[in-house]
A and B are shown apart, each in its own frame.
Chain A
Amino acid sequence: MKSTKPTVGFYSITGCAGCLLSFIFNEKEIVQMTKLVTIVSFPFIHESAEIKEVDVAFMEGLVASPEDEEVLKEVRKKAKTLVALGACAHTACIPGYRHFVPKDSYARLMYEKLHKIKTIEPGPIDKYVQVDFTIPGCPPNKREIIKSVVNLCLKKQLKNYTSPVCVECRRNNNRCLLEENRICLGPITRGGCNAICTNSHFECWGCRGPTDDMNLPAFIELLEGKGFTKRDIRERIIAFSGQKNPKVLEVLP
């Protein structure tokens, strides 16, 4: 008898595999989850080159090589719903920083054999294919991944958390790091992470991408008033989510 459970596949292109690891950290729930869904592909469990037809595909990583592009397009073709899993898929994250730096400025630092690797302009996956839902974060919140899977099974409409990190940060009674004259990107970054970095007194680097509602000019003015240069601010913003924040390049060329 054919199972009526939805099928789910996890796939990985250029990235550190931390997003898949985040999913695995839900040890207890994964067992329960298999009652709701059938996992047909997961790179850590079973290495297979075959890309199967699935109801939902979770794609980790960014497109940085011609092979990445091929795999991504194949996954898209065979998945009814495509979910971008993690910051690389969502914003191109740290590997996407290459986009902002001319190659001659770092080429001399590269190992000889790295020059032979064929690369293309790094970019988030929605630059190449249509993405139905995004789970942001570097790494993504493990609860958020498992919740998305459950909600997809329940055919509930998925919704991203859109408020800035500051909301959860102050809800956790944290002292504001901007008050300590540190560049914290909390006000312009999407929350949903429960302010995990600022809870530990580490400033937000914006891994979950910019909020739709950010007031970038006011935020830059605020940081400049604290003595930071345009360059400091630009470097910080483009580090994790530059490709999803084109306004930065307009305001801070």
Chain B
Amino acid sequence: MAVYVLKKGDLEKFLLFLGKQGELIAPVKKDEVRFEPLKDPTDLYLDEQTYIPAKQYFFPQEQVLFTFQDDMIIPVVAPIKKRIFFGLRRCDLAAIQHQDIAFGEHNDPHYKKLRKSTILIGYQCTKKLHHWCFCGSMDLPDFYDLMFFEQEHHYQIDVGSAQGETLLKKSKLCRKTVVRISKEQKIVPDTNLLQRKDLGKHYSSKAWDSLVKKCISCAACTTLCPTCYCHEIKDDVPVSLKEVQRKRTWSSCQLKEFSGVAGNYTFRESRSSRFKHRIFHQLQYFREKHGVDLCVGCGRCIKHCPPRIDFIKVINKL
């Protein structure tokens, strides 16, 4: 696909232009870095990984699926904003692709509604954003409308879709170039930390125990994971007993109640089985089903784990 060039000095102008095309979401630093609506282009912060991934915009923490009263279902009618994301890393982008697969499997209308009419603009990392980045092990795809590659005085912008290219042309700030993005530019140095292997035969290994012992079941790993999509669905009954809301909220396989079923039975009673389920779902089961690992190697689950449970070392030793 075509490559364009944007002068570094023109980035602010470009962001202002994007802000006029829809709601612009980009990393902003307050106490932590989060994807937030970018009001002022000077607030853009690209030096760290965002604490919270972008998934909340497509798969919100809490979402009303529909309301019902007596035997009538009332669908939620809300205007969907056109959103433009800027500053997504290669891992964040791949995570969106993997969630597309997961929610696409059953053609989830609630996800699709929010995911439609978004433009994804990536920003390639030139160095590791933190110690536990292991995207280099995960063979991440090119999945974007546009991708920024930082050079000394300008950005090279790789076009990933027609809608991305239209946007660049409309901005009148970029010029086309014959230079192509090299393979090396797409790889972040020192991030090939995880040895990929068939975990199937290691389920009963004793090596997991040292990790499980430290787990406090706070579910930070799954909540902050850009690909985890497990949720629970509950009815919110108001006192009036009218217009009951059926809500979908984030949940986590790390919680005991998540695998609880009627009859007071719990499928994954032990912390160990829950912990292993996460690792296996991310690095084994999803690949067996969809041909690609769910995990994208962003390392948030290690960086933000209060006891810093580092499963990379353990998997490498298996």
Interface residue B16 (Cβ < 8 Å from any Cβ of A): no
- B residues in contact with A173, CB < 8 Å: 32, 34, 51-52, 56
Complex Cα distance, B309 from A221, in Å, reads 13
Interface residue A188 (Cβ < 8 Å from any Cβ of B): yes
Q: Which of B75-83, B107-115, B248-256 participates in binding chain A?
A: B248-256
Interface residue A187 (Cβ < 8 Å from any Cβ of B): yes
Q: Which of A3-11, A66-74, A118-126, A164-172 participates in binding chain B?
A: A164-172
Complex Cα distance, B137 from A20, in Å, reads 56
Interface residue B216 (Cβ < 8 Å from any Cβ of A): yes
Q: How far is the CB of B253 from chain A (nearest CB, A)?
A: 12
Main secondary structure, interface of A, reads helix
Q: Considering the complex, which residues of chain B in the window 218-259 have a beta carbon less than 8 Å from any beta carbon of chain A?
A: 218-220, 223-224, 237-241, 249-252, 255-257
Complex Cα distance, B55 from A245, in Å, reads 36
Q: Considering the complex, which residues of chain B in the window 155-175 have a beta carbon less than 8 Å from any beta carbon of chain A?
A: none
Interface residue B106 (Cβ < 8 Å from any Cβ of A): no
Is there an interface contact between A176 and B304, defined as CB atoms closer than 8 Å? yes
- A residues in contact with B220, CB < 8 Å: 166, 170, 176
- B residues in contact with A252, CB < 8 Å: none
A32/B219 contact (C-beta < 8 A), A162-B256, A175-B31, A218-B213 known: no
Interface size band for B: 20 to 34
1/0 per residue B195-232: CB within 8 Å of A?
Answer: 00000000000000000011111111001100000000
- A residues in contact with B238, CB < 8 Å: 29, 150
Shortest Cβ distance from B258 into A: residue: A163
- A residues in contact with B237, CB < 8 Å: 147, 150-151, 154
Given B32, B213, B218, B240, which contacts A164 in the complex, CB threshold below 8 Å?
B218
Interface residue B189 (Cβ < 8 Å from any Cβ of A): no
1/0 per residue A151-188: CB within 8 Å of B?
Answer: 10010000000111011001111011011000000111
Main secondary structure, interface of B, reads loop
Is there an interface contact between B215 and A218, defined as CB atoms closer than 8 Å? yes
Is there an interface contact between A215 and B306, defined as CB atoms closer than 8 Å? no
Shortest Cβ distance from B303 into A: residue: A179
10 A-B contact pairs sorted by A residue (CB < 8 Å): A150-B239, A164-B255, A167-B218, A167-B223, A170-B223, A213-B217, A214-B216, A214-B217, A215-B216, A221-B307
Interface residues of B (CB under 8 A from A): 31-32, 34, 51-52, 56, 61-62, 213-220, 223-224, 237-241, 249-252, 255-257, 271, 304, 306-307
Interface residues of A (CB under 8 A from B): 26, 29, 32-33, 36, 146-147, 149-151, 154, 162-164, 166-167, 170-173, 175-176, 178-179, 186-188, 211-215, 218-219, 221-222
